[in-house]
Amino acid sequence: MKIEILRELNAERAARRPVIIVTDTATGEQRLVKARDIAADPLRAELAKQLRMGKSGNVEAGGKKLFLNVYAPTAKLVIIGAVHISQALAPLARSLDYDVTIVDPRTAFASPERFPDVPLIAEWPDTALPPLNVDHYTAFVAVTHDPKIDDPALLHAFARDCFYIGALGSRKTHAKRAERLRAQGASEADIARIHAPIGLDIGAVSPSEIAVSIMAEITAQLRLPPKEKEQAA
């Protein structure tokens, strides 16, 4: 790999921006494609597919055999609320290689005994969230049912362009949440990004089942093409 490409690759990875190295397997010629440039690239369909899957692979295009080496940031999951659902959701997400952090200012809930081996921040969202560097490769889940905790956290998620934002509550609860968020400056586009009621509709009842439905919806948002995301919603 040429030093120029390596430097650019390292810079993109350090900034948690996905990048793909395209290698002509016959000649060894390489080029780097940044995520923001995929839509204008001749290989846009192949590049987008491999990036969604988060996997490298071989493709054929224009009579050439190419290897697409995908460098995607490790996905994060930030859970607002150290509740029963979170006790099931955190280990499930970790089994899928997410970096998980739980935020809840209520120390009676956010205790190491209830969440062994999971990073806990027992602070209010305005203090806890900025150091986490929440970004586009972050899934964000608000499950406290407490507007004083969930609402400012959701506003932070809007500002950081998380790829998934979900919030616990019925449609009636969500309608009231939307009114509060509008009053605090959230746009209709922001509110439309919230998956609420949270999770895929699989008839989930127990905290563990709800955790499965949430993780399935997050996975669909991360991996499926736009049209298929709509069908899964």
Q: CATH number, domain at 123?
A: 3.40.50.720
Domain total for the chain? 2
Which run of H or of E encompasses 105? none
Q: Check whether residue 101 and residue 212 sit in a common domain.
A: yes
User: Does residue 233 carry a pLDDT above 60?
Assistant: no
First vs last C-alpha separation in the chain: 42
Q: Check whether residue 129 and residue 36 sit in a common domain.
A: no
Of 71, 96, 114, at which residue does a domain stop?
A: 71
Summarised one tens digit per residue, pLDDT across range 7-20 is 999 999 999 999 99
Where residue 228 falls among pLDDT bands split at 50, 70, 90?
low
Task: Indicate if the alpha-carbon torsion angle 226, 48, 36, 194 is positive or negative.
Answer: positive
Look over the chain and give the mean of its residue pLDDT values, rounded to a whole number: 94
Please tell me the predicted confidence (pLDDT) of residue 149: 97
Please tell me the predicted confidence (pLDDT) of residue 23: 96
Q: Is 99 helix (H, G, I), strand (E, B) or coil?
A: strand
Summarised one tens digit per residue, pLDDT across range 187-222 is 999 999 999 999 999 999 999 999 999 999 999 999
Q: Check whether residue 24 and residue 126 sit in a common domain.
A: no
What domain range includes position 21? Answer: 3-71
Q: Check whether residue 107 and residue 56 sit in a common domain.
A: no
Please tell me the predicted confidence (pLDDT) of residue 224: 86
How do strand 138-142 and strand 120-121 relate by DSSP bridges?
A: unpaired
Summarised one tens digit per residue, pLDDT across range 139-179 is 999 999 999 999 999 999 999 999 999 999 999 999 999 99
Q: Check whether residue 167 and residue 199 sit in a common domain.
A: yes
Where residue 229 falls among pLDDT bands split at 50, 70, 90?
low
Of 20, 36, 71, at which residue does a domain stop?
A: 71
Please tell me the predicted confidence (pLDDT) of residue 1: 83
Summarised one tens digit per residue, pLDDT across range 46-70 is 999 999 888 999 999 888 999 999 9
pTM summary value: 0.88
- Tell me the HSE value of 149 on the side-chain side, using a 13 A CA sphere: 23
207-215's contacts with Cβ under 8 Å and 24+ in sequence apart are 207/83, 207/84, 207/85, 207/87, 207/88, 208/88, 210/85, 210/88, 211/85, 211/88, 211/89, 211/92, 212/92, 214/85, 214/89, 214/141, 214/166, 215/89, 215/92, 215/93, 215/96
Contact 213, 204 (CB under 8 A): yes
The more confident residue out of 80 and 2 is: 80
Q: Check whether residue 56 and residue 107 sit in a common domain.
A: no
Q: Check whether residue 129 and residue 51 sit in a common domain.
A: no
